[in-house]
Amino acid sequence: MPIFDAREVLPWIPGSNVSDTLIGGIHFNKTALDYWNYTLYSNGTLSNGSSCILTFAPYTPALVHPNGSFVNVTWCYHPVNAIGTRAGVGIGFAVAFGLTLIPLLVALNKHGSIYLPVEKRFFPIGRRWQWYWGLFVCAAAIISLLTNVDVDRYYLPELPIILNVFFWYLLQMGTMALVWEAVRHWGSWMERQFIDPNPFMLPQDDRRGQFEFWLPLVFYLFLWLNFFMIVPRSWTPIELQRYPEQTIEKAIPSTQDPRMKLGAFFFVVCFMIILVSLWHSIKHYCPHNRGIFNRGLGLIRFTPPRFMLILPLTAAMIAYQILITFDFDASLVKIHPNILAMYLGGYAPSLLILWVNSIWGFASPNEDRALQAQRRARGEEINRELGFSRKPAWWRPNEGNERMRDRIARNVREIGGGRATAKTFAERNAARAAQTPRSGMAPRMVIPVGQSVYGGKSDRRRTERVTNAAAALLFPGTSISVDRVAELMQDGPVTQPPPPYKDAAARGRDGERPGSMGRSNSTGTTNSVSGPPQQVKSMLEI
């Protein structure tokens, strides 16, 4: 049940009679107010523990009914105040975060695109996580900043201040995850470039690989502990800032309890893990330096400029979260905090981190494209070492500029095909038929081949028509299929043709059974030995 406390309880102002009282210059039934346990407070509110209404002009109710309901009532949790400094600055930051969404989406599309086959060792989603977290940070920041409008306008603090603080903590966690993914993925990208010439240079099951496997799990464990210490709790005490005593007794202890301090400590552990990941990547994938002093210089020299800006901003963000667990005046949990400390420590670091990451996303190429360029450079270097020089494009213009379609057409012209092949086949068969005399055939008649050629678009149908035309020239007056023509055109010996058919009566007289077609079951070989030899004949004379 909501609590509607105020600084001081005011007595009823006497009215025209005993059961009458004046509130804001308007007469009310005092008996009904007492019956429903209404109390008048010095902050201009009238409350009975379950409902609260405003009593000052121009929000004074017009009438109270015997059942305790009011006419023309304005509740205490209503935006009646003007927008203050907190909301005005918050709107400006919200616009800045909203505009940051555009470069983040462009960078996600640019760096998330794939131009090389996906490798099991390097998943494409690994390069996208930092942009996903950036979008999450923008969304949480916009919600948190826009609720500042209702924080300023509500007469008594309620839900808006809770939403403001809740999404701000999510903003902090998302920013920490963004920085981690940026540093972790940079190490993964360095590893990918390191092993691209030789994938078997670094095994995955060695001490280095196991360290890179467990380190992300440890980071997200402590990030989850930060979330667990802050989010699963009662947020109602934050809105209990309706007068100074209540703020001291309710609001401040809830924002400075041990759980809040422990959550800030877990943020420090996450930051240390990020630094360890950066050191690990430089140690294994960058040139080594000897000596402690030279190693320290190498650590600074090989750290990307982007991280030289992001890491101090992350440290400033963590420092502010630690600060608000000790100083309530600088905390955004307070209704009227120190605006400069609130926005410089609470929102500016996250916004600057997003801008630095977005600028880097515009300036840097896609990783697959960069890897392709490195492979081309290595190939050219190897060619120079071997003394091999590639010929320019104009060296073989026909081969270099010829399309695949032109190559296929050139090959077809060389081996024959289409209309030209069919026409050549018909002319060749016609010439052979004209040069080879055959007995028992009708006089050859020359027919122009072009008149028999099929004029449609089907090559298969055109070939069949030409072949049929050639068969008609070879065998006039008959209808022979294409397959039969191909069989007849073959040369070589054939067996003796079967004997002519005999009628049933003749077969009966010769002692053969009807239907045997001159065949006998005798195994004698007299006829085959004493008979004349067989003469080989051509199939064309049958």
pLDDT tens-digit profile, the chain (542 residues)? 344 444 578 888 887 888 888 888 888 888 888 888 888 888 888 888 788 888 888 888 888 888 888 888 888 888 888 898 999 999 999 999 999 999 999 999 999 998 888 887 788 888 899 999 999 999 999 999 999 999 999 988 889 999 999 999 999 999 999 999 999 999 988 888 888 888 887 877 788 888 989 999 999 999 999 999 999 988 989 988 888 888 898 899 988 999 999 999 999 999 999 999 999 988 888 877 766 766 777 778 888 999 999 999 999 999 999 999 999 999 999 998 999 999 999 999 999 999 999 999 999 999 989 999 988 888 888 888 888 777 766 666 555 555 666 777 777 666 655 555 556 656 666 666 666 555 444 444 444 444 444 555 566 677 777 777 776 666 665 555 555 555 555 555 444 555 554 544 444 444 444 444 444 444 444 444 455 555 544 444 44
Domain extents for the chain?
9-71, 85-380, 415-433+447-488
Q: Phi and psi at residue 450, in whole multiples of 5°?
A: -60, -25
CA distances from residue 281 to 152, 215, 254, 278, 443 in whole angstroms, order as listed: 47, 12, 41, 5, 94
Partners of 70 in beta bridges: 64
Nearest by Cα to 168 from 77, 93, 268: 93
Separation CA 95–CA 303 (nearest Å): 32
Q: Rounded to the nearest 10 degrees, how much is the dihedral formed by the CA atoms of 163, 168, 173, 175?
A: 140
**Side-chain half-sphere CA neighbours of 74 within 13 A:** 18
Which residue in 220, 213, 218 sits closest to 173, CA to CA? 220
| 86-97 b/e (C-beta count within 10 Å ≥ 16 → b) | bbebbeebbebb
Q: What's the distance, CA 153 to chain centroid?
A: 41
pLDDT confidence of residue 498: 54
- In our burial notation (b when 16+ CB lie closer than 10 A, e otherwise), range 502-530 reads eeeeebeeeebeeeeeeeeeeeeeeeeee
CB-facing half-sphere around the CA of 21: CA atoms within 13 A: 17
* Distance set, CA 459 to CA 5, 382, 421, 450, 470 (Å): 96, 50, 10, 15, 17
Report yes or no: 476 and 443 within 8 Å, Cβ to Cβ: no
**Structure confidence by residue, pLDDT tens digits, 447-460:** 444 444 455 556 66
Q: What is the pLDDT of residues 181-199, one digit of tens each?
A: 999 999 988 888 888 888 8
Q: Which amino acid is at 342?
A: M
As a whole number of angstroms, the distance between CA 259 and CA 401 comes to: 72
* pLDDT in the model for residue 25: 80
Q: Tokens at residue 146, please?
A: 């826009």
From residue 438, how far is each of 230, 428, 441, 443, 486 by CA, in Å? 108, 17, 6, 10, 17
Q: Which CATH architecture has domain 85-380?
A: Up-down Bundle (1.20)
Given this model, what pLDDT does residue 435 score? Answer: 65
Q: Provide the pLDDT for residue 308.
A: 93
Give the pLDDT score at 432: 67
Question: Containing H/E element for 268?
Answer: helix 258-285
Q: What's the pTM value of the predicted model, to 2 decimals?
A: 0.68
Nearest by Cα to 347 from 144, 505, 60: 144
